[in-house]
Chains A and B, each alone.
Chain A
Amino acid sequence: MAELTISNVRKTFDAVVALAGANITVHDGEFLTLLGPSGCGKTTLLRIIAGITEQDTGEVSIGEQRIDHLPPERRNIGMVFQSYALFPHMTVRGNLAFGLRMRGVNRSEIERRVGEVLELVDLAGLANRFPKQLSGGQQQRVALARALVIEPEVLLLDEPLSNLDAKLRESLREDLRDLQRQLGTTSIYVTHDQAEAMALADRIVVMNFGHVVEVGAPVTLYRQPKYRFTAEFLGNTNVIETQARGGVLELPWGERRASRGLRDGKVTLSVRPEDIQLEPHADDGNAIVEAVTFLGSLVQYQVRVAETQLRIQTAGKGVEILKVNDRVKAVLPETPHILAEDAPQQASMSVVEK
């Protein structure tokens, strides 16, 4: 059972709070992604789990066993670095064998397991090459294979795809997901790329300024984010400030919606660009097209409704591509998603920033 528990882990660098007491449980076999902008503490957390960085306070456990006092070599955790960190003076085979040698595995067993993992990551022909003789994608796979060959209880991945070009990144992303499912290794993946996080993760931990903002499945976090930070960080969204009064929601452009069960006061909506309907050539059009961006699979519009700018997205073969200054009608979904007040830690953000 390789369940990883992180409790109250805190870390400061001089006066800067890198982690303000993180509490996360990663279930056995789960693929968890730490997502957030640079400097949010996600890599620090990963390094604390690996034992490379020491936490100020807090506990890290695998199953029932506390590991936060152990040196990295005694944690049985595999780590893939953003820079790959391959041993430049060793061949691919030497790189993969290293961890097994350190564990005192015998020669024939090393040979067998290295061979197996090379097959697994599709590098069988390159065993005798040196890292510098490999492409970026191949180096990445060696780094992954090196972390997997020791059969770690937990696999940590620190932005492993960020140095690759977009196409390769996508294909390796899928390979990585398949591999993790196949092996069932409990994995934590750090990224600032929300698409990567959504494509890979069973659950996403959204982080900002050393705080865990929200944890949830990709679909939940995308469709029903609790906080504005999550809504804006995961994909694009329209954040619309409205007023609720006597069971009626007043949209900024004067439109009124019945809304049951809302207390009077400020209500913040998050509406995804693809959830707003765009009716072209509407006689009762309420909006003007201000900008059009054709992105192949979809078309992005910037539309103005009274004083409010909205991002709208349409897709599909039959969809008409509108022109700037076209009069259109923008229709919000029946029950738009309502955001909670900003999380308390978001309010303290500015303090941490200083």
Chain B
Amino acid sequence: MRRKRLVLPLLLFPGGGYLLVFFGVPLFLAVMGGFGLYNIAGDNSFTLEHYRKLLVVREFRDGLILTLYLAFTSTGLGLVVSVPLAAMLQLNFVGKKAFNAIYKVPLVVPSVVAAFLVLTFIDRGGMTSRALALVNIDMPKMVRDRWAIGVLIAMTWKSIPFMTLIIGGSMAGISKDVLHAARTLGARPLTVFLRMQIPLALPGITAATLLTFIGAMGAFVVPNLLGPVYPLPLSVHMYDNAFEFNEWGLVSAMGTIITLVSTAVLLTYYRLTRGAQRAFQAGH
């Protein structure tokens, strides 16, 4: 009997143990570090000072807001483009094969390269502004600007093929007969898209949204290169505080905040989509 009780944990150990060691321990250390415990450098005593700083210092507060703004906006823009795009890719059209290959190009371009592409393309003095200058049009500032347009362009450009791939896979799994049945019952193509394809592809849409959102919350390279001078996103603050000011406790607190906010967003999203799913199910 006692032996049997040992069997299950032992069987789970290779998988569960791996997670515990390589995910659980760092997470634990990060959370504790935020409270001044298990510190790599400096004091080891419990403190709420780091969190106080995060909430009180304007630079950090604005940084968190910028991080959230970038994550929400780039994910939202990605969704707006990739959901219809995924639906379009279910149709047959001339040149589909070529299009299918081309739209995935950003997937193989690293973020830093994408950032430089945007830089050379739309920064003042870049290709577009020079071309527009010829016809006397002044390009608005889109790099290091207040609304982080350049950051959003680069991040959305990267996320669209990724989201389209996941959502397209989900849509390809929908039975063609179901879509045809909706048509014979009187639904126009747009209605089929809104009432059949979107709800039935919701698991894929959810996965794409969450993966993109979490990636965007931690984005570093693109906002660092193209983002506004003030505020800086939390990811950049984390880098600066760790390697320039050696403030590891503060870094841990920021990491914890990003993780907590992401988790909160995930839970809210699940709540919302479950509600939506229920509404779809009732047929309203």
Contact = CB atoms under 8 A, between A and B. Distances in A.
B180 A85 contact: yes
B180 A72 contact: yes
A187 to B, nearest CB: 14
B283 A98 contact: yes
Given A87-B178, A89-B277, A130-B281, A146 B185 contact: yes
Interface stretch (B9-17, B137-145, B186-194, B265-273): B186-194
B246 interface: no
Contact of A71 (B178, B182, B183, B282): B183
A81 interface: yes
Interface in A235-278: none
Residues of B in contact with A, size category: 20 to 34
A79 B184 contact: yes
Contact of A88 (B178, B185, B282, B283): B178
A131 to B, nearest CB: 10
A72 B182 CA distance: 9
A161 interface: no
B149 interface: no
A73 B186 contact: yes
A94 interface: yes
B184 A88 contact: no
A73 B188 contact: yes
Contacts of A88: 178, 200
Nearest to B202: A89
Contact of A102 (B186, B199, B277, B280): B186
Contacts of B280: 89-90
A4 to B, nearest CB: 15
B43 interface: no
Residues of A in contact with B, size category: 20 to 34
Interface string B150-181: 00000000000000000000000001011011
A342 B69 CA distance: 75
A85 B29 CA distance: 52
Given A89-B277, A89-B281, A102-B191, A77 B184 contact: yes
A210 interface: no
Contacts of B180: 50, 52, 72, 79, 81, 85
B221 interface: no
B44 to A, nearest CB: 54
A85 B187 contact: no
B108 to A, nearest CB: 33
Nearest to A47: B180
Given A91-B281, A91-B282, A94-B283, A51 B184 contact: yes
B77 interface: no
A85 B181 contact: yes
Q: Which of A78, A87, A130 has the most CB of B within 10 A?
A: A87
Contacts of A71: 183, 188
Given A81-B181, A94-B283, A73 B187 contact: yes
Contact of A72 (B175, B178, B184, B282): B184
A262 B277 CA distance: 72
Contacts of A94: 281-283
Given A52-B183, A52-B184, A83 B175 contact: yes
Q: Which of B186, B188, B200 has the most CB of A within 10 A?
A: B186
A99 interface: yes
B273 to A, nearest CB: 12
A88 B188 CA distance: 19
Contacts of A86: 178, 181
Contact of B184 (A78, A83, A89, A93): A78
Interface in B231-284: 277, 280-283
A93 B182 CA distance: 15
Q: Which of B182, B183, B283 has the most CB of A within 10 A?
A: B283
Q: Which of A73, A75, A130 has the most CB of B within 10 A?
A: A73
Contacts of A78: 184-185
A89 B177 contact: no
B196 interface: yes
A50 B177 CA distance: 12
Given A73-B184, A88-B200, A81 B177 contact: yes
Contacts of B181: 79, 81, 85-87, 146
A84 B196 CA distance: 15
A103 interface: yes
Contacts of B182: 87, 98
Contacts of B184: 50-52, 72-73, 75, 77-79, 147
A149 to B, nearest CB: 9
Nearest to B180: A52
A18 interface: no
Contacts of A87: 178, 181-182, 196
B103 to A, nearest CB: 27
A97 B181 CA distance: 13
Q: Which of B185, B280, B282 has the most CB of A within 10 A?
A: B185
Q: Which 6 A-B residue pairings sit nearest by Cβ, starting from the closest?
A: A94-B283, A102-B186, A99-B185, A85-B177, A85-B181, A72-B183
Given A71-B188, A93-B283, A99-B185, 5 more contacts: A81-B180, A89-B281, A91-B283, A94-B282, A150-B185
18 contacts: A50-B180, A51-B184, A52-B180, A52-B184, A72-B180, A72-B183, A73-B184, A73-B188, A79-B181, A82-B177, A85-B175, A85-B181, A86-B178, A88-B200, A89-B277, A89-B281, A98-B187, A102-B187
